[in-house]
Structure 1
Amino acid sequence: MHSFKSIKIIDSGKSIILQRNNDTSVRYHSTWLRDNALDPKTRDVNNRQRLITLSDIPINISIQSAKLDKTGTNIFLTFLPEKKDVSFSANWLEAHAYDIKQHNEKGWIASDFKTWGNDMLNHIPSADYKNAKSDKTLLLQWLKSLYCYGFAKMTGGKIESGALIQIADLFGYVRETNYGKWFEVRSEINATNLAYTNLGLQAHTDNPYRDPVPTIQILYCLENSVFGGDTTVVDGFNAALRLKDENPDYFNLLSKYCARFEYKGKAGVHLQSRRPMIELSPDGELITIRFNNRSTAPITDVAYEDMINYYKAYRAFSDIINDPTLAVNFKLNPGECFVVDNTRVLHARTAYSGEGTRWLQGCYVDKDGLLSKISAISEK
């Protein structure tokens, strides 16, 4: 429970400053406070969506009065020229504070993400499907782990075609692509994708040639009696941060310039995208890794004078991704699946023999469903 011990109007009514009990302070602007008012004339009481536009807020808005209740847990404001009364709880204001130290270096990651290497092998987040489906607390724990680490396993599923959709239904909605609602991962003659062969695959993210890229991927095992065909996952954020630590110039090149990705499959399918291998938000947050040697098209957006160093950076990043100390290796059994955040975690496969059968099915789910489910369960 948060509370404040004093409130003061500053900047001629354009802002307020609140003093905390530990003698630190936090400021808010009048326009921001009015725009985020929680009263029923500003926000719909059912869906909490805003009922006004920014143009409805007077450009000369100011705060006439600002008061705290006796406990310091609620503040009460009056705005001019509307003469509108608005209240906020200390908890809400603290949860949405923006008068804080901002990140000022490239490549920071969200505080609730945890990076990992091969030490993750003995701590892979995992849950039994039936238990997770019936126990919301267990499901929430599994979903939070998937978000935090970008990777999790689920066991105890049905051994039947299409069972992976039941995993997707736990937290979101399947994103259908040209591969269908789900796709088969097993050897094919004249395969349209190298994933549909028995060749080994370097650690990669899926479908970087799409824009937007699929965000969550499920790979579900139905048969796996071959020699080889083991699964590997690599934390791409960990790899990118290591590159940044070892050679900041290389990190800057891969985040500054766009690579190009392309896929031509069956007739009528030609997918292309232009995005950096290491994508940062405008304020420098590391948000997406796109790495797929098979689908990288000719890179044409790098300046001539930087191209040699760009390829050096590309090679260095590839070498880090291939480092066994960053990889978690395991073999899937029928009825098991692994789920990855495809914007962060790369996956690979070792080659396998022609004897026996390896049959996986895969699908994509949008990440917003995962985040929505976490929030919805947490609020209950």
Structure 2
Amino acid sequence: MLLRFCRAHCSPATRLFSTVSRHTRIVAATLDSDARRLTIQNEDEKRYSLPFAYAREHALKTASKEPIRSAIRSGTVTPTKVRIVNDAAFVDWSTGEQTEIDSEWLARHFGRRESKAVSPFESLEKTYWRSDYDCHAANTVDFTDILNDDVKLLEFLKTLERYGMVVINNATSESGQLLKLAKRAGWLKSCIYGNLITVKSVQNHTNLANTNIGLELHGDLPHLAYSPEYQMFHCIEQLSGPRAGAGWYSDGFAVASYLRKEFPRDFDILSKSTVQFQYDVADYLDFNCEHWGPIIKLDRYGDIEAVFLTNSVRGDRFSHKMKSCLSDWYAAYRRFVQLAHNSRFITEVKLSPGQILVFDNLRIFHGRPEYLLKENREVRRLEVVYIDKDAVYAKARELLNFL
């Protein structure tokens, strides 16, 4: 049985994981029975050392791996011979199987970002934007197209990954449209407010979102260990006037990148210091939520993974090691907040009834100016849902496999 590690048998979603633009040819391979390792060398003289168990376990792509993993436990399966043919190492196993490993497989599994393969859009470069970004003009899609056309749905998901924010037109102002969209793109993420949340202008409401009071830029629910990753706003009713009921949006990754370039010490402080986020909703719900984390979260490679800017739920406790440098932390945080609210980083978006705004809650800050509640009972009403990247990425992989 021939078990291949090659381009022809990899799905499009898998091929997108690789960030290596050029794969150098495999020129040599050796077996070390004492160390139980397979060593492969390419024409750049780079060597890859693979344990026998790893090389064989990851060979099967379609059949069950349980027999292989049973062999791993017993340690009875060993390679008997390896040879190079064209750009591949062929390994014969004591079971009679044969494995083929080519240069693309090596790049995909041992490239710099192999552990980020959770994203099917790893090959897409994010586009950071500032105040001149007009999402109405730049990135709009049709609601019906997304529901009925897989190609359009995939284009929408790619645009969302790249820019972090997309406007959807023609969803009608009928309640419940977000449930259709969330089901099409993945599945809903529930929270303490439920699944489908209504945000409606009411004076003196306990939750500031349901008032007409202005809100500074923020991300939702940082007091949860797993904050919602995507947020969707569906405009049901809107205030009249060119700016009444508009929202402010800022690309937090653009702000953090600017901070890293111009004020590296502040960036370092905010990415390494752990602070408390707490939300006590005991007034109307029996929950007290708390989570600790940095303002700027980095992945293992030092790239920006998430940003948090929610003063209303930022607690008053800090990690013990920060006690001696609180003044530096506040100075860095103040600069980050000021940059996020600077006009060069903010774009204003006003949704019309029937429009949906989808954005990355861990990247895009949102807020709004204060507006008046008129005597004619005109209101601003949105429906809101959350959805996680696990759901979106699962749908994207399926689409990439078949399109």
TM-score range, shorter chain: 0.7 to 0.9
Offset of residue 17 of structure 1: 2.4
In 1: Cα distance, 2:165 partner to 2:393 partner:
14
Residue matched to 1:297: 315
Residue matched to 2:42: 19
Residue matched to 2:141: 127
Offset of residue 308 of structure 1: 0.3
Q: CA 1:262–1:34 in 2, change beyond 3 Å: closer, same or farther?
A: same
Q: CA 1:28–1:121 in 2, change beyond 3 Å: closer, same or farther?
A: farther
Equivalent of 1:307 in 326, 349, 354: 326
The one-letter code sitting in structure 1 at the alignment partner of 2:370 is: A
In 2: Cα distance, 1:100 partner to 1:182 partner:
36
Q: CA 1:284–1:57 in 2, change beyond 3 Å: closer, same or farther?
A: farther
Residue matched to 1:179: 193
Q: Which moved more, 1:35-44 or 1:352-361?
A: 35-44
Q: CA 1:335–1:53 in 2, change beyond 3 Å: closer, same or farther?
A: farther
Q: CA 1:62–1:153 in 2, change beyond 3 Å: closer, same or farther?
A: same
Residue matched to 2:29: 8
Summarize the alignment of residues 29-178 of structure 1 with structure 2, pairs less than 5 Å apart: 29-31=50-52, 32-38=54-60, 43=65, 52=69, 56=73, 58=75, 64-69=80-85, 71-72=86-87, 74-78=88-92, 85-98=98-111, 112-121=125-134, 124-178=138-192
The one-letter code sitting in structure 1 at the alignment partner of 2:167 is: K
In 1: Cα distance, 2:240 partner to 2:344 partner:
25
The one-letter code sitting in structure 1 at the alignment partner of 2:28 is: I
Offset of residue 236 of structure 1: 1.1
Gaps of 5+ in 1: 45-49, 104-108
SS in 2 for 1:338: strand
Summarize the alignment of residues 210-359 of structure 1 with structure 2, pairs less than 5 Å apart: 210-227=224-241, 228-265=244-281, 266-301=284-319, 303-355=322-374, 356-359=378-381
Offset of residue 13 of structure 1: 6.2
| Aligned residues of 2:26 and 2:40 also touching (Cα < 8 A) | no
| Aligned residues of 2:147 and 2:181 also touching (Cα < 8 A) | no
In 2: Cα distance, 1:40 partner to 1:132 partner:
31
Q: CA 1:308–1:54 in 2, change beyond 3 Å: closer, same or farther?
A: farther
Q: CA 1:300–1:5 in 2, change beyond 3 Å: closer, same or farther?
A: closer
Task: Indicate the RMSD between aligned Cα atoms, in angstroms.
Answer: 3.0
State how many pairs are aligned.
364
Offset of residue 196 of structure 1: 1.1
The one-letter code sitting in structure 1 at the alignment partner of 2:125 is: D
Offset of residue 15 of structure 1: 3.7
Runs of 4+ in 1 over 4 A off after TM superposition: 10-13, 23-26, 39-42, 60-64, 99-103
The one-letter code sitting in structure 2 at the alignment partner of 1:362 is: V
| Aligned residues of 1:232 and 1:348 also touching (Cα < 8 A) | yes
Residue matched to 2:209: 195
CA-to-partner distance for each residue in 1:272-319, whole Å, 9 max, x for gaps? 111111112233232111110111111322522210010001100001
| Aligned residues of 1:42 and 1:52 also touching (Cα < 8 A) | no
| Aligned residues of 1:26 and 1:99 also touching (Cα < 8 A) | no
Residue matched to 1:363: 385
The one-letter code sitting in structure 1 at the alignment partner of 2:101 is: F
SS in 2 for 1:333: coil
Q: CA 1:171–1:256 in 2, change beyond 3 Å: closer, same or farther?
A: same
TM-score, length-normalised on structure 1?
0.85
Offset of residue 55 of structure 1: 5.6
The one-letter code sitting in structure 2 at the alignment partner of 1:124 is: A
TM-score, length-normalised on structure 2?
0.81
In 1: Cα distance, 2:290 partner to 2:273 partner:
16
In 2: Cα distance, 1:93 partner to 1:189 partner:
60
SS in 2 for 1:68: strand
Offset of residue 338 of structure 1: 0.7
| Aligned residues of 1:221 and 1:337 also touching (Cα < 8 A) | yes
In 1: Cα distance, 2:305 partner to 2:287 partner:
28
Identity %: 25
Q: CA 1:24–1:350 in 2, change beyond 3 Å: closer, same or farther?
A: farther
In 1: Cα distance, 2:285 partner to 2:176 partner:
26
SS in 1 for 2:384: strand
In 1: Cα distance, 2:74 partner to 2:49 partner:
16
In 1: Cα distance, 2:126 partner to 2:68 partner:
34
Q: Which moved more, 1:34-43 or 1:141-150?
A: 34-43
The one-letter code sitting in structure 2 at the alignment partner of 1:117 is: R
